Amino acid sequence: MGPEGRRKAPPVAERLADIEGRISSVRQLSAVVTAMRGIAAARTHEANARLDGIRAYARTIGMAIAQALALQPEDEDPPAHRGQDCPPRHLIVAVASEQGFVGGYNSHVLDAAVRYGAGQGDGRADLFLIGDRGAMTAAERDLAVACSLPMAGHVDQVASLANRLADALFDRLERGLADRVTLLHAVPGGGIGTEIAEKTLIPFDYARFPPVSRAQPPLLTLPPAALLTRLADEYMFAELCEALTLGYAAENEARMRAMVAARDNVGRTLDELTARARQLRQDQITEEVVELATATISGSDPA
């Protein structure tokens, strides 16, 4: 290829303008990353602050169950929960993320669900998935999802989501489509990795609440069996609230970790671009000095 066919490098000033434009864009991105990290940290803190109240509510219901169990006739077992007479069918409820920028968070949740056989379409287990971003990841992995609900966008929406999820679960149980329900959710504070907790919702484990007798038995408006069933439903609602709150906190914690990593990468990129810009400025100054010197020498030559 001759000299006329060679592509000429852009002038130094043009390359410097491009680099400075990229530096401006990277600085704007750094501001966005910092803001997202701050929001995620605030949401994690807010969710963790709600856990004490949810757990206190669950303890209160647990105490009521223990007292109600003491009223059961000794030869009578606690009532079986709805759906336990249906053919064996496992239902997996997996709490994933609603939004992105969470690294491998959703993959960890779905990996745990797959270990139970969920999403395989072979009839062993059905998958209830919470979180739109988690649903997208499940679709990418060709996992079958029996039901999908959006994850809470704010911690104040957790109770409403728990109600909708409980309605969907009880509907499936009453129609004989499940006899076992397992809840999977991430736990905040797991460090770099994502810790997945599992909890059996159905069959309901009354053995967690040793019967407690009171000197003065409580006044009841329901038979003990009916009361226990309602209290078990209420306790399950508290467990769903706790799991969703923990999942919400873990999602935002994962996003916070991702933003910290992004901030580090942005910082390195900004340092590299700044160094490159300095070099190009020096090259530009050198070119201008050479041009001025050449013009001066040319002007001083005799005609």
- HEC per residue, 172-208: HHHCCCCCEEEEEEEECCCCCCCEEEEEEEECCCHHH
Is 108 part of a structural domain of the chain? Answer: yes
- Cβ neighbours of residue 280 under 8 Å, at least 6 residues apart? 12, 15, 16, 19
Residue 255 and residue 262: Cα distance in Å, rounded?
Answer: 10
Is 274 part of a structural domain of the chain? Answer: no
Is 111 part of a structural domain of the chain? Answer: yes
Residue 36 and residue 251: Cα distance in Å, rounded?
Answer: 13
Residue-wise burial string across 133-162, b where 16 or more C-beta atoms lie within 10 A, e elsewhere: bbbebbeeeebebbbbbebbeebeebbebb
Supply the pLDDT for residue 291: 78
Supply the pLDDT for residue 10: 67
Supply the pLDDT for residue 215: 65
Mean pLDDT, the chain, whole residue set: 87
Helix (H/G/I), strand (E/B), else coil: 169: helix
Is 8 part of a structural domain of the chain? Answer: no
Domain span holding position 236: 42-208+222-257
Using alpha carbons, list the distances in angstroms from residue 279 to 155, 258, 266.
49, 32, 20
CATH number at residue 200: 3.40.1380.10
Is 113 part of a structural domain of the chain? Answer: yes
Is 30 part of a structural domain of the chain? Answer: no
What residue type is 297 in one-letter code? Answer: I
- Which regions of the chain are under pLDDT 50? 1-2, 5
Is 146 part of a structural domain of the chain? Answer: yes
Domain tally, the chain: 1
Supply the pLDDT for residue 177: 86
> Could you give phi then psi for residue 241, rounded to 5 degrees?
-60, -45
Is 121 part of a structural domain of the chain? Answer: yes
pTM of the model as a whole? 0.83
Supply the pLDDT for residue 287: 79
CB 18 within 8 A of CB 244: no
